Amino acid sequence: MKFIHAADLHLDSPFRGLISGGLPSDLEKKILDSTFTSFKNLVDDALFQNVDFVLLAGDLFDRNDQSLRSKIFLDQQLERLNQKHIPVFIIFGNHDFLQGGKDSLGFPDNTKVFGPKPETKYLTLKSGQRVAIHGFSFNKQWITKPIIKDYPVADQSADWNIGMLHGSADSVKSQDNYAPFTLSDLQSKNYDYWALGHIHKRQSLDNKGLINYSGNTQGRHINETGKKGYLLVESNGKSLSTSFHSTAPIIWQKILIPVSSKAANTLIKNIFDFLHKQEFKLTTFIRIVLDFKGPISDELINKLNDGEVEEVVRDQSLKDWQNVNFFVTSLKFETSQQIKFSQIDQKYFDEAKLQTLTSKNLEEIKREFMKYDFIQDFLSSSIDQKDIFNLAAQEILSDTLITGGNKSDN
């Protein structure tokens, strides 16, 4: 038995964190096509490998937002598999939740969609083995009930039992609005394999690697780094093994670059030297994090804070992106440089820091932008909060430099 497990295709959803447009049109096209290209590569592999079936564990697209392009494309790709008689099993997730009947979807004959209540679909392989697949589709955006409880236990009459579930495990940090389950819930069903969806970071929940999030098929912002694709599950006798295959045309990556230079232009040169040595195979969108060993000049800090350095690096990387296969989307720096105060002031600032840089303090700002969900999410995300706190320190630092209020120790 050989099958593909993929999820979170998020067809036609845009990249986040690309602040200004002005990208060359070929890069723009590559971005717009990326989710499609990735899935097409998956279907190419499925055909080439002649897999027995394909599992798609939800969030294929955004139902509210579904573009015609994604619908037609999906239909086409499913049809390609249909031509080769490769069945596809789909569960819909919180983004592509299915409210209406599944008959009006217009999918080809090979495509089976699970309904809102957990059900089992059977399939007989060319080898004669019988496979039972258990799953359900979201029929609304949030499902707080642990639907896992309604899944049947493994059907003994089938050679293989596979479960499909789109939702959040309690061990993975996420809210509980997405058909929550625990690892033991899953294990209690005694399935041979769990094809999970919803979490974009590819991971195994168990140590055998048979309860997996395949991750999304194309990273869409800097926090979805690394190669993206699908999991190929193959049987060897009575055991299963899983391997990852990459299909995404664009990879996001955070790169820590150690730097010790003080001047802006040598810094930029060092950055590019470092990046060119990397020899990226796939188009890579990079966030550079500068790791300064030693003090930075005031002038450089200002340039960094202004975003001047980031802009220059970004623009320069854009010129040659096709040859070098990378594009610098953002540049951050960490510095141990502290704001120095007079003794009377230092402890006040340190104490005030603890008091001020809390997520609670962001509440008021959050309230200011209550209408905008995306801002709410941003201000609630702990990673982004951390960034804000760092930035606050840098603001004060740069301002003290400007006003000359910084006193050194001696």
Partner 1 sequence: MIINRLVIYGYGKLVNKTIELNHPLQIIYGANEAGKSTIIDFIKSILFGFQSKKQAKHGQYVPRNNAPYGGEIFFQEDGINYRLVRTKGRLTPGDIKFYNADTNTQLPNQNYEKLISPIDRETFDEIFYYGDFSDKDIFGLKTDELRARIQQIGVPAAPKWLDIQKNIDKQAADIYKKKGRKPVLNLQLKSLEALRQKVSNAKLNYPQYQKLNQHLIEAKNQLQEEEKTHSLLQAKFQKSQKLELALPKIQKLNKLSKIDNKQVKPGFEQSDWQEFNRLSVKLANFKKQSADLKKRINELSESQNTNDSLNFYQKNKTDILNLTKQLPKMRDVLSSYKFYSNQKTDVQTEINRISNSIPRNNSNQLPTVLTNEMESQITELLQKQKQLQNQISQISKNHDQRSKNSQPTGKDRTPIILISLGVLSFILSFVLKASFGWILIILGIILIALGTFRNIQKPISNSNSQQKNASAKTINLDPTFSLEVVRQKIDAIQKTGKLSGIPPENWLYVQSQLKQLTQKQNDFKNAENQENISKETLDSFIGKWQFSNNYLDFGSDLTYSQMFELISNQVSSWKQAESKSQMDSQNVDEFKKSFEDAKVSELKALAQYQNFLTSRGLTNEQEFNERFNQQAKIKQDVLQAKNLKSELIDQGFKDVANQDLEKIKSEINHDQTLFNDSQNQITELSKRVSTIEVQIDDLVKNGEYSQLKQQLADQESLILSYVQEYAALSLSSQWIDNALNIASKGRLPKILSLANKYFQTLTKSAYKDIEFDERIKVVRSDGESFQINELSKGTLEQLYLSLIFSMTVGFSSEYRLPIIIDDGFVNFDEQRRAAAFELLNKISEKTQVIYFTANLDRKVSEDNLLKL
- Binding footprint of partner 1 on the chain (CB under 8 A): 12-21, 28, 31-32, 65-69, 71-72, 341-345, 348-349, 351-353, 355-357, 361-362, 365, 368-369, 372, 374-375, 378-379, 384, 387-389, 391-396, 399-400, 402-403, 405
Residue nearer to partner 1 on the CB measure, 99 or 144: 99
Q: Is the dihedral of CA 15, 6, 199, 249 positive or negative?
A: negative
Residue nearer to partner 1 on the CB measure, 130 or 353: 353
Q: What does the DSSP 8-state code read for residue 117?
A: S
Min dist. Cβ of residue 128 to partner 1 (A): 41
Min dist. Cβ of residue 106 to partner 1 (A): 9
Min dist. Cβ of residue 384 to partner 1 (A): 7
Min dist. Cβ of residue 152 to partner 1 (A): 36
Q: What does the DSSP 8-state code read for residue 91?
A: E
Residue nearer to partner 1 on the CB measure, 40 or 121: 40
Residue nearer to partner 1 on the CB measure, 22 or 295: 22
Buried b (16+ CB within 10 A) or exposed e, 30-60: bbebbbbbbbbbbbebbeeeebbbbbbbbbb
CB 121 within 8 A of CB 133: yes
Min dist. Cβ of residue 67 to partner 1 (A): 5
CB 2 within 8 A of CB 221: no
Residue nearer to partner 1 on the CB measure, 273 or 350: 350
Q: Which amino acid is it at 220?
A: R
Say how far apart CA 2 and CA 12 lie, in whole Å: 28
- Three-state secondary-structure class, residue 384: helix
Please, is 164 exposed, middle or buried when counting C-beta atoms within 10 Å of its C-beta (0-12, 13-18, 19+)?
A: buried
CB 326 within 8 A of CB 283: yes
Residue nearer to partner 1 on the CB measure, 63 or 121: 63
Min dist. Cβ of residue 287 to partner 1 (A): 13
